Amino acid sequence: MAQFTISGTVTDNGSNAPLAGATVRIQNISATGTDASGNYKFKPLKGGNYLLEFSFVGYLPVQKEVRLSQDQMVNISLQPSAFLAEEVLVQATRASQNAAVTYKNITKDALNKNNFGQDLPFLLDNTPGVTITSDAGAGIGYTGIRIRGSDATRVNVTLNGIPYNDSESQGTFWVNMPDFASSVENIQIQRGIGTSTNGAGAFGGSLNIQTSGSSIKPFAELNNSFGSFNTLKNTVKVGSGLIADKFSFEGRLSRIKSDGFVDRGKSDLRSFFLSGSY
């Protein structure tokens, strides 16, 4: 009984460029793929009727019936297909309950109990695996944090998912964020390698900070504290509440002064924080 071949080329309908790796299938018999030039070939085949199916990622599939009584060349052009995918949300800075990461979540209430003007590292001093340092000795000014012995260049700090580490030194300068704890909603500390947006920068751990969300009701708040080494903190916070069921704005002004424990370790810091939501 005579045997024949079916061969051809698969190309793009618009540019006529060959489609390498396209799938060509003879229904219920066999399948093959196109080479780098878009060519394919089936052999040997008995005479008869065959249904060829052509498909490629990003293109509309095509079927073609072939009556085989001699060798045939079947060239096909595929039409690109357009589709709108649904939104995909990727969250990769926080560990969940089932994650294989050692972590601890610190709430706003826990932070407020210890917030007397010291930098964020000092508020995390009682967390396992955390070691803090202070140049002035009072926790205000230049402070540092280590997690499991790794210095700040290997601790990934993110603010609302955005890396805070310095792009050159990879360190973090908490002196630039005085009284930032007054605007923090919660913190997650991950010890060791975990979910990170900074790769090797999170070898020691990750510190994910989430700032305060919007308030439905308007408010005004005044906080003052005084402590050792003439340390003084003044904080004023205001919020508009929900405006027209759509907008809300919040703001904070802070001043922190301290003589420091170390001689000539004085600090005089001021900061503000503004946020808006819709």
pLDDT one digit per residue (tens) for the chain, 278 residues: 678 899 999 999 989 999 998 999 998 888 888 998 999 999 888 888 999 999 998 899 999 999 988 999 999 999 998 665 565 554 555 666 666 677 888 888 888 888 888 888 888 888 888 888 888 888 888 888 888 888 777 888 888 888 888 878 888 888 888 888 888 888 888 887 765 555 556 677 888 888 887 777 889 999 998 988 889 999 999 999 888 878 889 999 999 999 988 888 888 999 999 988 87
pLDDT reported for residue 98: 65
Query: Residue 170, exposed/middle/buried by CB under 10 A (0-12, 13-18, 19+)?
Result: middle
| Interval 2-54: pLDDT, tens | 788 999 999 999 899 999 989 999 988 888 889 989 999 998 888 889 999 99
pLDDT reported for residue 134: 86
pLDDT reported for residue 29: 86
What sign results for the dihedral spanned by CA atoms 198, 199, 204, 206? Answer: positive
Write the Ramachandran bin of 171: left for phi over 0, alpha for psi from -120 to 50, otherwise beta. Answer: beta
Count of residues for the chain?
278
Residue 197 · residue 215 · CB < 8 Å: no
pLDDT reported for residue 198: 53
C-beta pairs of 189-192 under 8 Å, 24+ apart in sequence = 189/103, 189/104, 189/106, 189/124, 189/127, 189/130, 189/147, 190/95, 190/101, 190/102, 190/103, 191/102, 191/103, 191/128, 191/129, 191/147, 191/148, 192/101, 192/102, 192/148
Phi, psi dihedrals of residue 274, rounded to the nearest 5°? -125, 140
pLDDT reported for residue 88: 52
Q: Over the chain, what is the mean pLDDT?
A: 84
pLDDT reported for residue 74: 93
Helix (H/G/I), strand (E/B), else coil: 194:
coil
Cis peptide upstream of residue 44 (ω within 30 degrees of 0): yes
What sign results for the dihedral spanned by CA atoms 143, 145, 150, 155? Answer: negative
pLDDT reported for residue 201: 63
Domains of the chain with bracketed CATH = 3-78 (2.60.40.10), 102-277 (2.170.130.10)
pLDDT reported for residue 192: 74
pTM: predicted TM-score of the whole model, two decimal places: 0.59
Write the Ramachandran bin of 149: left for phi over 0, alpha for psi from -120 to 50, otherwise beta. Answer: left
- Give the angle subtended at the CA of 223 by the CAs of 222 and 225, to the nearest 5°: 150
